[in-house]
């Protein structure tokens, strides 16, 4: 008998069908037993006389096939129930699981949740996180496809770093040393030279020795780069529209998930303001008495700025532009006396994007390298690409895990990473 998905039960109404899935809950009363069966499309309650199931010793998380008859049941979540004719165990779960798919795992330690990731994915609260994450990916790509961007796939094994060689993981590459890419920055700039508008969603690597709640050694970067811009404001405006598009889709498609977590719909980002870096320092001084910041913001400053932004605009988000040039990579376009034409987006207290306009001609790149004590000769393979007709351009990178975390109000980026990597964690 062909297997029917739970979401397709309407088509099987009144007929004999077979469903397959996990036992999410099993309730054995004196005369009747109830199995809540779950597959990738939903949950359905299945009913049988207790004595008919007794010898099977069913328990939560066993995988089974149920053959039975579909009966309309308007009061149930699936709108149907199944009267069981037969239960066929497919593969049993172990007897000593640390929790079950139907458990409330809010009290389970993060280590256990990660060590038992397949099982935690089967709980509603964790599955919800990764459903939202998959939607972020989908609507990120959809928005960009509709705006003339081309998806590219670029190498993560590189001969050197994009930012001068710190925090790189070294690979034994035959008789040489290679490195894991920290960013697709150079490749997406080449992509602009070739295709004008490109994006890539892929892994990047930082040999980050600190295991904080915001840092991983491997994360997934939503990168885009676009040519023929007038300035970093064009990139900022694109991000406003991009995030608004993604947020609208999440509000529509995952209203149930937001509701389960007690979250309001995500805001439109179209009105998120752009504040100058120097102005941000001034605001932090006057509102919070902060006098310790000079070259960069710290996590506390990011949270405080979002508080101020929410007071002014109702949305705890702000683009900060004009960071000191010396704190930005060599390829950053200068702005004003000592500022950078680059920006961060702070959202709900955390930096989730870095972006900006880049230098686009060879001479200015050579000057910038020399100004940082780097030898242009070492970057010749890279610099050559700027002779090929490189337009003015800029772009941005959004950390997928951080964005997921901020959308859902999680407190540790590991919750939004299926298999997180840090100094201490390499498995599973």
Residue among 339 and 420 whose Cβ is closer to a second copy: 420
Residues in the chain, total? 428
**DSSP summary character for residue 333:** P
Q: Nearest distance from residue 158's CB to a second copy, in Å?
A: 7
Within 314-399, residue ranges assigned H as helices are: 362-371, 380-383
Indicate the DSSP class of residue 116. T
Q: Where are the beta strands (DSSP E) in 174-217?
A: 176-180, 197-205
Shortest Cβ distance from residue 127 to a second copy (Å)?
7
Q: Assess contact for 161 and 182: CB atoms under 8 A.
A: yes
> Which of 290, 393 has the CB closer to a second copy?
393
For residues 138 and 326, which CB has a smaller minimum distance to a second copy in the complex?
Answer: 138
Is the CB of 47 or the CB of 171 nearer to a second copy?
171
Between residues 20 and 261, which has the closer beta carbon with respect to a second copy? 20
Our CB check for a second copy shows the closer of 34 and 116 to be 116
CB of 55 to a second copy, least distance (A): 20
**Given the complex with a second copy, which of 14 and 94 has the nearer CB atom?**
94
369: three-class secondary structure by DSSP: helix
Smallest separation, CB 35 to a second copy (Å):
14
Token look-up 């670029």 returns 154
- Residue 221 has a CB neighbour count (10 Å cut-off) of 20
Min. distance of Cβ 133 from a second copy in angstroms? 7
Shortest distance, CB of residue 50 to a second copy, whole angstroms? Answer: 23
- Residue 242 CA to residue 115 CA, distance in Å, equals 34
Give the relative orientation of helices 232-253 and 124-146 as an angle to the nearest 10 degrees.
Answer: 130
Would you say 122 or 335 has its CB closer to a second copy? 122
CB of 187 to a second copy, least distance (A): 7
Structure tokens at 64: 């089974």
Contact 394, 226 (CB under 8 A): yes
Task: Enumerate the β-bridge partners of residue 354.
Answer: 344, 397
Give the nearest distance from C-beta 178 to a second copy in angstroms: 6
Strand, coil or helix: what is 428? coil
Helices (H) and strands (E) in the chain, counts: 12, 18
The H-assigned helical ranges of 261-340 are 277-288, 299-313
The 3-state DSSP composition of the chain as helix, strand, coil percent (nearest 5) reads 35, 30, 35
**At its nearest, how many Å lie between a second copy and the CB of residue 351?**
20
CA–CA distance, 405 with 416 (Å, rounded to integer): 6
* CA–CA distance, 138 with 268 (Å, rounded to integer): 18
Minimal distance, residue 310 CB to a second copy, in Å: 30
**Which lies closer to a second copy via its Cβ, residue 15 or residue 228?**
228
Q: Give the nearer residue to a second copy in terms of CB position, either 1 or 29.
A: 1
Token pair in block for residue 375: 């030898």
Distances (CA, A) of 108 to 37, 98, 111, 246, 333: 24, 9, 8, 31, 47
Within a 13 Å sphere around the CA of 326, how many CA atoms are in the beta-carbon half? 7
């Amino acid at each position: 008998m062909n297997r029917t998905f739970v979401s397709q039960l309407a088509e099987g109404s009144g007929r004999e069908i077979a469903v397959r899935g996990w036992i999410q809950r099993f309730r054995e009363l004196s005369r009747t037993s109830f199995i809540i069966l779950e597959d990738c499309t939903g949950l359905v309650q299945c009913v049988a006389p207790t004595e008919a199931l007794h010898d099977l010793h069913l328990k939560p998380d066993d995988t089974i096939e149920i053959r039975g008859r579909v009966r309309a049941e308007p009061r149930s979540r699936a709108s149907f129930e199944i009267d069981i004719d037969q239960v066929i165990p497919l593969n049993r779960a172990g007897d000593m699981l640390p929790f079950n798919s139907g458990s409330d795992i809010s009290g389970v330690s993060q280590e256990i949740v990660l060590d038992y990731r397949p099982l935690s994915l089967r709980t509603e609260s964790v599955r919800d996180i990764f459903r939202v994450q998959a939607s972020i990916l989908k609507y990120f790509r959809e928005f960009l496809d509709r705006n003339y961007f081309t998806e590219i796939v670029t190498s993560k094994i590189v001969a050197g770093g994009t930012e001068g060689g710190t925090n790189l993981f070294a690979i034994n590459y035959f008789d040489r040393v290679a490195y894991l890419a920290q960013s697709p920055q150079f490749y997406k700039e080449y992509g602009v030279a070739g295709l004008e508008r490109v994006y890539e969603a892929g892994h990047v690597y930082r040999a980050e020795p600190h295991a904080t709640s915001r840092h991983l050694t491997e994360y997934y970067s939503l990168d885009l780069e676009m040519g023929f811009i007038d300035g970093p404001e064009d990139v900022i405006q694109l991000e406003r529209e991009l995030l608004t598009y993604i947020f609208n889709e999440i509000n529509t498609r995952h209203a149930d998930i937001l509701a389960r977590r007690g979250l309001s719909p995500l805001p439109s980002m179209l009105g998120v303001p752009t504040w100058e870096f120097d102005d941000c320092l001034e605001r932090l001084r006057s509102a919070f008495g902060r006098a310790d910041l000079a070259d960069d913001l710290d996590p506390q400053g990011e949270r405080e700025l979002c508080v101020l932004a929410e007071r002014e605009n109702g949305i705890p988000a702000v683009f900060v532009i004009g960071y000191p040039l010396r704190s930005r990579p060599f390829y950053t376009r200068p702005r004003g006396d000592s500022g950078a034409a680059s920006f961060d987006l702070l959202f709900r207290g955390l930096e989730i994007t870095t972006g900006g306009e880049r230098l686009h001609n060879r001479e200015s790149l050579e000057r910038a390298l020399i100004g940082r004590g780097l030898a242009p000769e070492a970057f010749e393979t890279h610099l050559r690409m700027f002779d090929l007709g490189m337009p003015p351009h800029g772009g941005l990178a959004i950390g997928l895990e951080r964005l997921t975390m901020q959308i859902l109000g999680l407190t540790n980026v590991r919750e939004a990473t299926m298999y997180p990597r840090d100094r201490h964690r390499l498995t599973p």
